[in-house]
């Protein structure tokens, strides 16, 4: 056992003494030591209940003959961090999460690991380090929040963000917004739409690292606790069979994950995280590959904010496994991929047919023949840009309009709420990329304000920042190269015509090469916005969004 390095032999008597200071007995030390990586805290609603999940995991590990030892990591609530300096730290937390777990797992040689994430950057950070460490591992998320109920209508957090724009437009009162904020988030769990947290927890199932139900069993259901116990027992089976993450997270497994991504229309943030996770597993996922898979994958499921269904509806319809079952019927799934169930994905999904074809469309009657995400290329995004096309109004899939340029999110939000944005315009928010932000902030506040003001079918938004999975409308993010690296987005001026053609993967700035060259000659590298601490170092090391915003070696 790996833990023998710290507990066996004469020279390890001091080590055993320290273990015994924890209250461990010789019998417990003779069993495998299983690290329980818990991201619980009292600031993130999705993580509030994770101590209960961890206790269930530990019970399962003990039932399987192991000794569980818990440690923690950080987590950022993107909603609370939104639209202020705190959001600069959100994406950057992914690398800290991965690195801190690596430190703990290498300093204390666990035999196996159980990861307990729930929210946006925690899931990918943990998947990255699971691949890096390659110790028998399993994931059990905290599960999704139930939808709220506002005057008989189901709602999620995105409605509250959109309510800000509605109040600014005069279509909602501040009292009504207050009532909405009271009920939109009824309890613990990751926010109830197909936002980034739920997207990544669902993709964890598809890539094989989470048990069926990991992404969709609601946080408050007893089934979530039973699933946690099963995860604890199952990791002991993985340890006994020496099944490791790199046996599971193969190139074929990542293709399965991308298929699910396109069928559900997950958050655009998945196109940052999947390449970063794959890189740790020695697999390359290019943006061109994303488009190829999207172009051949039907869009089967529209969840909040793209549709009227919520994660709890997907759960009742059969969950992630049912979507994979439906895709399998069209020959789109690699059935041979191993999973943490100790069975293949094909064996898993055979037992999970679709239970409600109103929530999960049949492959022969999809919302569209192509997937819910798309990568755009052109002179404005030579390395690519990403859009959640499944949440774009049909009339905005192809759009051309004059640019309104802002050098920060704050400038854009001020203009939007002041009512100065005109129909047909293309809002450009720049210097918010991985380096320029730094940290590539989410833009849920401006996109929600646009939607709340009723402009989401008339106005597009283009940024080198990124979007929340709660965003809807023609919101195009991850523009690469970013403005801070001298990308063409840095050269756009008010009134320039921008052409967007989402079906044909195109994003074009309509000016001449000569004009571009003249502007480029006058452009200067901007001064860094943060000059101390972690984010200063992060800005120096982070690569383009087209790479997954990974750090340089």
Q: Which of 137, 468, 480, 546 is catalytic?
A: 468
What does the alpha-carbon distance between residue 244 and residue 368 come to, in Å, rounded to a whole number? 37
Q: How many whole angstroms from its chain centre is CA 314? A: 18
The partner residues of 148 in beta bridges, in order of sequence, read 155
- Of 323, 353, 307, the C-alpha closest to 256 is 323
Which residues does 478 contact at the CB level (< 8 Å), separation at least 6? 268, 271, 272, 384, 385, 386, 464, 466, 545, 546
Q: In terms of Cα–Cα distance, which of 18, 310, 286 is closest to 157?
A: 310
- CB environment 156-192: b (16+ within 10 A), e (fewer): bbbbbbbbbbbbbeeebeeeebeebeeebbeebbbbb
Please answer whether residues 427 and 461 qualify as being in contact, where contact means their C-beta atoms are separated by less than 8 angstroms.
Answer: yes
Q: Is the dihedral of CA 530, 532, 538, 539 positive or negative?
A: positive
Q: Does residue 375 come out as left (phi exceeding 0), alpha (psi in the -120 to 50 range) or beta?
A: beta
Asked if 267 is an active-site residue, the reply is: no
Q: CA 477 to CA 462: how far, in whole Å?
A: 6
Rounded to whole angstroms, the Cα distance separating 440 from 451 reads: 21
Among residues 52, 13, 25, 419, which one has the least CA distance to residue 225? 52
Peptide bond into 346 cis (omega under 30): no
Coil, helix or strand for 492? coil
Report yes or no: 436 and 464 within 8 Å, Cβ to Cβ: yes
What are the φ and ψ backbone dihedral angles of 500, each rounded to 5 degrees? -115, 125
How far apart are the C-alpha atoms of 141 and 215, rounded to whole Å?
Answer: 7
List, by residue number, the catalytic residues. 468
């Amino acid at each position: 056992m790996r833990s023998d390095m710290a507990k066996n032999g004469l020279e390890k008597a001091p080590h055993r003494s320290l273990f015994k200071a924890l209250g461990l007995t010789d019998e417990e030390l003779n069993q495998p030591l299983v690290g329980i990586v818990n991201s619980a805290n009292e600031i993130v609603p999705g993580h509030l209940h994770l101590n209960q999940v961890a206790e269930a995991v530990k019970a399962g590990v003990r039932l399987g003959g192991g000794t569980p030892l818990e440690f923690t990591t950080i987590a950022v609530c993107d909603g609370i961090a939104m639209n202020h300096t705190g959001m600069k730290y959100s994406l950057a937390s992914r690398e800290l999460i991965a690195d801190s777990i690596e430190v703990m797992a290498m300093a204390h040689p666990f035999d196996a690991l159980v990861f307990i994430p729930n929210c946006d950057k925690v899931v990918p950070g943990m998947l990255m380090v699971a691949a890096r460490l390659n110790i028998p591992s399993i994931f059990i998320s905290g599960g999704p929040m139930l939808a709220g109920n506002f005057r008989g209508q189901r709602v999620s957090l995105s409605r509250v963000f959109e309510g800000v724009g509605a109040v600014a437009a005069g279509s909602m009162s501040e009292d009504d917004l207050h009532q909405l904020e009271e009920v939109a988030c009824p309890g613990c769990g990751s926010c109830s739409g197909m936002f980034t947290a739920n997207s990544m927890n669902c993709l964890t199932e598809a890539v094989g690292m989470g048990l069926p139900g990991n992404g969709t069993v609601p946080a408050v259901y007893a089934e979530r606790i039973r699933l946690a116990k099963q995860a604890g027992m199952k990791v002991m089976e993985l340890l006994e069979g020496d099944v490791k993450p790199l046996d599971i997270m193969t190139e074929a497994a990542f293709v399965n994950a991308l298929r699910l991504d396109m069928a559900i229309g997950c958050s655009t943030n998945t196109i940052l995280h999947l390449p970063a996770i794959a890189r740790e597993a020695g697999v390359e996922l290019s943006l061109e590959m994303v488009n190829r898979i999207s172009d051949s994958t039907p869009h089967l499921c529209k969840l909040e904010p793209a549709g009227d269904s919520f994660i709890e509806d997907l759960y009742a319809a059969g969950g992630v496994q049912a979507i994979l079952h439906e895709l399998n019927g069209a020959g789109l799934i690699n059935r041979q991929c191993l999973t943490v169930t100790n069975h293949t994905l094909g064996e898993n999904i055979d037992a999970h047919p679709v239970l409600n074809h109103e929530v999960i469309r049949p492959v022969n009657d999809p919302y569209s023949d192509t997937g819910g995400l798309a990568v755009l290329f052109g002179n404005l995004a030579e390395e690519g840009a990403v859009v959640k096309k499944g949440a774009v109004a049909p009339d905005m899939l192809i759009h051309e309009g004059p640019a309104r340029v802002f050098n920060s999110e704050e400038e854009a939000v001020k203009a939007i709420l002041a009512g100065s944005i005109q129909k047909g315009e293309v809002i450009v928010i720049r210097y918010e990329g991985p380096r320029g932000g730094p940290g590539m902030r989410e833009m849920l506040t401006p996109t929600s304000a646009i939607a709340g003001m009723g402009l989401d079918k008339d106005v597009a938004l283009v940024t080198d920042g990124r979007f929340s999975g709660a965003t809807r409308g023609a919101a195009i993010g991850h523009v690469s190269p970013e403005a801070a690296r001298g990308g063409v987005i840095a050269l756009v001026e008010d009134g320039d015509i921008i052409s967007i053609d989402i079906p044909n993967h195109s994003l074009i700035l309509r000016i001449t090469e000569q004009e571009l060259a003249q502007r480029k000659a006058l452009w200067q590298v901007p001064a860094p916005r943060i000059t101390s601490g972690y984010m200063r170092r992060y800005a120096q090391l982070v690569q383009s969004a087209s790479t997954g915003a990974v750090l340089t070696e």
